[in-house]
Amino acid sequence: MTSGGDAPGMNAAIRAVVRAGIYNNMEVFGIKRGYMGMIEGDIIPMTSQSVSGIIQRGGTILQTARCKEFHEYEGRKTAYEQLVKFGIQALIAIGGDGTFTGASIMSKEFDMPIIGLPGTIDNDLFGTDYTIGYDTAVNTVVEAVDKIRDTASSHGRIFFVEVMGREAGFVALRSGIASGAEAILVPEVKGQYEKLRQYMINRAEKRKSSIIIVAEGEEEGGAAVIAERIKSEFPQFSIRTTILGHIQRGGSPSAFDRVTASRMGAAAIDALLDDQKSIMIGLANNEIVHVPLNKSIKLHKDVNRDLLKLAEIIR
């Protein structure tokens, strides 16, 4: 099952789960539209052929949804009964913290082993260095910012570019460093507006162009709000705003995401064979690790402070 926001590489994960499952003589089903499909019994048998030709495709062939009914006990009970009806003995859930929160509650209420695979472009799950989709999203942002930089430098403009990350600045930080951004604003750091003002006072006049990367969950309220404030304080500059939006969630997954998703998918099957019941598969120092599902949700993964510092030094 894939659930919550989609992420490039989810299909590669589905493919690996199906094929590693079949390799280990398991019968594999796909649950459509996340917990919604689970409740409705929208469940289909998966074969090796049903996952042919999908490793390079973004999105998720199983589709996804955010499901309010699953927040209620009644909804989870119906979902569990559907799984039992189909003879399903374990669940592999690919998604982010919302998906894992639901999975974790369900695994406590009912007798159902659940393995989580981290699939979100936000990279905000504790216990894994990388989530499936993050690398692709970062590359999508970098490609877009490179293009914006061309027009920004032609016009000598300051561009505020908003990237995804309602609660986390991982996409902003990594793409900001990779695209040579002059400033990166993330939700994890407070009081950044003042720093940005100082930067405008000290640097911008000497520069032909500037790229300011803003994570959508940044404390001031996003790129449009900050751009307006800066515009009113520095009317001498030509300022534009671009919100990259859902382009970051689509597209063909990078080789890194395809390989990570494939490794994690196969590791989920191994974990079930090892009688694991409520864990997330993670990647730490390029090794597969098992993280208790509730730890992956409850513990906070911080952005890399060294990278934040680096971004300031080399801008």
DSSP run (H or E) holding 135: helix 134-155
Q: Does 122 bind ligand F6P (CB under 6 A)?
A: yes
Spatial distance between the Cα atoms of 196 and 237, rounded to a whole number of angstroms: 14
CB burial readout 156-187, b (16+ within 10 A) else e? ebbbbbbbbbeebbbbbbbbbbebebbbbbbb
37 φ, ψ to 5°?
Answer: -65, -30
> Scanning residues 238 to 277, which ones bind ligand F6P (CB under 6 A)?
249
Q: Does 165 bind ligand F6P (CB under 6 A)?
A: yes
Q: Does 309 bind ligand F6P (CB under 6 A)?
A: no
Nearer to ligand F6P among residue 88 and residue 224 (C-beta): 224
Q: Does 5 bind ligand F6P (CB under 6 A)?
A: yes
List 97, 122, 135, 257, catalytic entry:
122
| Amino acid residing at 36 | M
Spatial distance between the Cα atoms of 8 and 58, rounded to a whole number of angstroms: 5
Nearer to ligand F6P among residue 132 and residue 268 (C-beta): 132
| Min dist. Cβ of residue 246 to ligand F6P (A) | 6
Q: Does 166 bind ligand F6P (CB under 6 A)?
A: yes
Q: Does 179 bind ligand F6P (CB under 6 A)?
A: no
| Min dist. Cβ of residue 245 to ligand F6P (A) | 9
Spatial distance between the Cα atoms of 78 and 56, rounded to a whole number of angstroms: 34
Asked about 150 being catalytic, the answer comes back as: no
Nearer to ligand F6P among residue 28 and residue 132 (C-beta): 132
Spatial distance between the Cα atoms of 41 and 233, rounded to a whole number of angstroms: 56
Give the SS3 label for residue 51: helix
Spatial distance between the Cα atoms of 260 and 197, rounded to a whole number of angstroms: 40
Nearer to ligand F6P among residue 131 and residue 294 (C-beta): 131
Nearer to ligand F6P among residue 2 and residue 278 (C-beta): 2
Spatial distance between the Cα atoms of 17 and 43, rounded to a whole number of angstroms: 16
- Count, residues near ligand F6P per rule CB under 6 A: 9
> Scanning residues 20 to 59, which ones bind ligand F6P (CB under 6 A)?
none
> Scanning residues 204 to 243, which ones bind ligand F6P (CB under 6 A)?
216
* Candidate residues 164, 172, 264, 272; the one interacting with ligand F6P per rule CB under 6 A: 164
Spatial distance between the Cα atoms of 303 and 134, rounded to a whole number of angstroms: 14
> Scanning residues 102 to 121, which ones bind ligand F6P (CB under 6 A)?
120-121
Residue carrying structure tokens 């639901």: 102
Q: Which residues contact ligand F6P by CB under 6 A?
A: 5, 120-122, 164-166, 216, 249
- The catalytic residues are 122
